[in-house]
Amino acid sequence: MSKNVDSIAKAMVAPGKGILAADESFPTIAKRFASIGVESSETLRRDYREMLFTTPGAEAYISGVILFDETLFQKGADGTPFVATLERLGILPGIKVDAGAKDLAGHPGEKITEGLDGLRKRLDAYREAGARFTKWRAVITIGDGIPSRACIEANAHALARYAALAQEAGLVPIVEPEVLMDGDHTIERCEQVTTDVLVETFHQLAIQGVRLEGMVLKPNMVISGTTCPVQADVDTVAAATVRTLARTVPGAVPGIAFLSGGQSDELATAHLSAMNAMGPHPWELTFSYGRALQAPSLKAWGGSAEGVAAGKAAFLHRAKMNGLARTGAWSEAMEAASVA
């Protein structure tokens, strides 16, 4: 089993490729659809995701897709299960398994991710349905006096217990401890908190016996808070992020797939490219983007069959740009090229 999760983890972070996060919950996808004036019905959710999953050429840049519970069991318009569609293209299906972030008792302003109860049984069902990897997201907020040690330790412990259960089921765990961009904190404060979170996360992973070769880390980049008066430039973010990872992430981890965390499409790509240009690194540095891969495609699609071709073209363009960023070969001039 260890060799199986190791090989899947390596495939997830294969050179030139990254992961599409298409695991939006019902409330989140409803907000995304509302931004283009479209109602979030089951049929339209299916149509939208089918558009992404069947984009010709995207398999050259996408190694896996994180699905939502509904989507893992969903079929395309022609009756083909999405899992089968992805597998035919050589794309690994994955599944979000956490139950969301809830208020952490006794710690105002902080969250704890729930979903461990009954997880072993759900993982078995997901594996039988075709999932090859899983994802669990922890949320860490920077603010006045927070994050607390209680918040960091509780979330790291939950991440580690989840990861151990996933590997027990023969599934690769994506471990996602996200330090949020929200706030007026400096990049230096983000680096400090991210370091604390990653140190505790790997401490807990070791306690739970999680095999590092069979997991993928999905962290935030070390970046200025969204309302910080001084925004760090691309090179500064890249340097701070790589420095933090070098100090905290063991080389046995095959890959680090960054979340975009609310960054714009191009900025998330620019940061990834700058980090890879600093290489070589002990681990693959790749992407696991949701909005930063989907936003242009969602807008181009607009909820209509007539927009499918434009939506596919926009998605392929962003996938290609991030594929180039995997080797540090992306440049801003490439963004001016037509997505057609």
Task: Return the DSSP state at 294.
Answer: H
Rounded alpha-carbon distances, angstroms, from residue 150 to 81, 107, 108, 110, 111: 42, 8, 12, 10, 10
Strand partners, 276: none
One-letter identity of residue 116: L
Q: Are 177 and 159 in contact (CB under 8 A)?
A: yes
19 CB-side CA count, 13 A: 37
Strands (DSSP E) found in 40-166: 62-67, 92-96, 101-103, 111-113, 133-140
Which of 24, 50, 110, 176 is catalytic? The answer is 176
Strands (DSSP E) found in the chain: 18-22, 62-67, 92-96, 101-103, 111-113, 133-140, 172-179, 216-217, 255-258, 284-289
Structure tokens at 107: 């710690």
- Distance, in Å, from the CA atom of 9 to the CA atom of 82, rounded to the nearest integer, reads 21
Which of 218, 284, 312, 320 is catalytic? The answer is 218
Q: Are 226 and 262 in contact (CB under 8 A)?
A: yes
- In the residue annotation, 218 being an active-site residue is answered as yes
Query: In angstroms, how far apart are the furthest CA atoms of the chain?
Result: 53
- In the residue annotation, 31 being an active-site residue is answered as no
Catalogue the active-site residues: 176, 218
